[in-house]
Amino acid sequence: MNDTVALSIPNPFFEGRNEVYLLTSSPVTLIDTGIATSKAFEALQEAIEEHGLAVSDIERVVLTHKHIDHIGNAWRVQQASDAEVFIFSSEQSSLENVDPDGDRYRELVQERLTGWHVPEDVYPDSAESARWRWEIESCPATPLEDKQLLPQGDGQLEVIHTPGHTMGSICLRYGDVLFSGDHVLPKISPNIGGGDMRRRGMLGHYLDSLDRVAQLDDELRCIYPGHGDAFEDLRGRCEQLARHHQRRLDKLVSVVAAEAGQTVYQLARRLFGRLKDFHVVLGCAEANAHLEHLVEQGAMSERDGRFYGDPEAGSTNEGDC
């Protein structure tokens, strides 16, 4: 669609700048809003103004998922423009009941680190935790559902529910383009497990969601991701991501078969090596998601937070998407 403008917004996290998308047809729509900092909002304002519009002209905001670098400035845009803000129904509370100090999140992280048998001396640094205060306020949101259609210009935005990175992640199809959020990124794999630590079975959801969007490849001209440059060959990228996770599954099966009784933290170290600061959380959450999947598939068992191989289990290969 020729009404789509990509806006690159600064993000201090390791995945790099956020790609936010402005649809200039009616209703003027913003897809994602960047991280919850004044620096990011100022960059967003300037980028919109470079295209002859202002934040006050935004009529609708559609958010691909609940993470702070995507929902962060929705409240500011809404206050400046009275725009209607949309997010998938299961993540509506993330906008309407925000956690600016990170208190609820820190409590959840502490609970998970304990369950993963992470030694206290490698817990994330307290200085790192201090960065979890965000410039964010709650704002009312309209829930989205799978397959919902939103009128846009001469076409429509189709909501495609793609759980995995978070349970309420969505992609948006707009004619022959797809806004993929963090579901499919061109250079990196989105974290699976750390993005929604209250949910189980996230890897299975992610692999199923990859398969779902891969089927659209023949009908799409371009993919616009939440981080990185636009790309083509959605099916090929989905297959790469599926193989990436299959290699991790196979490695975990091999490691546990050779040395049973290891914890999530020990197995995360086998996958990723030394983990430091917040990567302790992300690495363990990713390992845990893969271990949950293997237990669900009957390839291993878990007792008291330790994992044991099943000698009767064969390959875990479920095929690529």
Alpha carbon distance 278, 273 (integer Å): 14
Task: Output the six-digit token pair for 64.
Answer: 């691909």
321 pLDDT exceeds 90?
A: no
CB 289 within 8 A of CB 282: no
**Cα-Cα-Cα-Cα dihedral sign, residues 296, 107, 64, 5:** negative
Fold of 101-133+245-321: Arc Repressor Mutant, subunit A (1.10.10)
> Which candidate, 180, 189, 188, places its Cα nearest to that of 225?
180
pLDDT band at 318 (very low <50, low <70, confident <90, very high): very low
3-state class of 73 per DSSP? coil
Q: How far apart are CA 36 and CA 78, in angstroms?
A: 14
What are the start-end ranges of the E strands in 191-286?
222-225, 262-263
SS3 52: coil
Q: Worst-scoring range by mean pLDDT, 35-44, 202-211, 304-313?
A: 304-313
Pairing of strands 262-263, 222-225: unpaired
Give pLDDT tens digits for 56-89.
Answer: 999 999 999 999 999 999 999 999 999 999 999 9
The answer to whether 87 touches 97, Cβ cutoff 8 Å, is no
pLDDT of residue 30: 98
Enter the tokens of residue 7: 């806006």
Considering only 9-13, 47-51, 101-105, 298-302, which range has the smallest mean pLDDT?
A: 101-105
Q: Give per-residue pLDDT as tens, 111-144.
A: 999 999 999 999 987 545 545 578 999 999 999 9
Q: How far is CA 98 from CA 39, 231, 285, in A?
A: 20, 33, 22
Residues of each domain in the chain carrying CATH 1.10.10.10 = 101-133+245-321
DSSP for 275-290, written as a single string: --TTHHHHHHHHHHHH
The residues of the chain that CATH labels 3.60.15.10 are 4-98+135-232
pLDDT: which is higher, 132 or 50 = 50
Res 319: pLDDT: 42
Q: Which residues pair with 309 in a beta bridge?
A: 300
* Per-residue pLDDT, 128: 54
Q: Residue 239: exposed, middle, or buried by beta-carbon count in 10 A (0-12, 13-18, 19+)?
A: middle
Q: Is residue 270 helix, strand or coil?
A: helix
State the architecture of 4-98+135-232 in CATH terms: 4-Layer Sandwich (3.60)
> For 137-193, how does the pLDDT look when each residue is reduced to its tens digit (9 = 90+)?
999 999 999 999 999 999 999 999 999 999 999 999 999 999 999 999 999 999 999
The answer to whether the bond into 27 is cis (omega within 30° of 0) is yes
pLDDT of residue 103: 85
Instruction: Give the 3-state secondary structure of residue 186.
Output: coil
pLDDT band at 313 (very low <50, low <70, confident <90, very high): very low
Does the pLDDT of residue 14 top 80, yes or no? no
pLDDT tens sequence across 190-238: 999 999 999 999 999 999 999 999 999 999 999 999 999 999 999 999 9
> Is the confidence at residue 314, as pLDDT, over 70?
no
Going by pLDDT thresholds of 50, 70 and 90, the confidence category of residue 315 is very low
Question: What is the reported pTM?
Answer: 0.93
Q: Return the percentage of the chain with pLDDT > 90, whole number.
A: 86
Q: Is residue 8 predicted with pLDDT exceeding 60?
A: yes
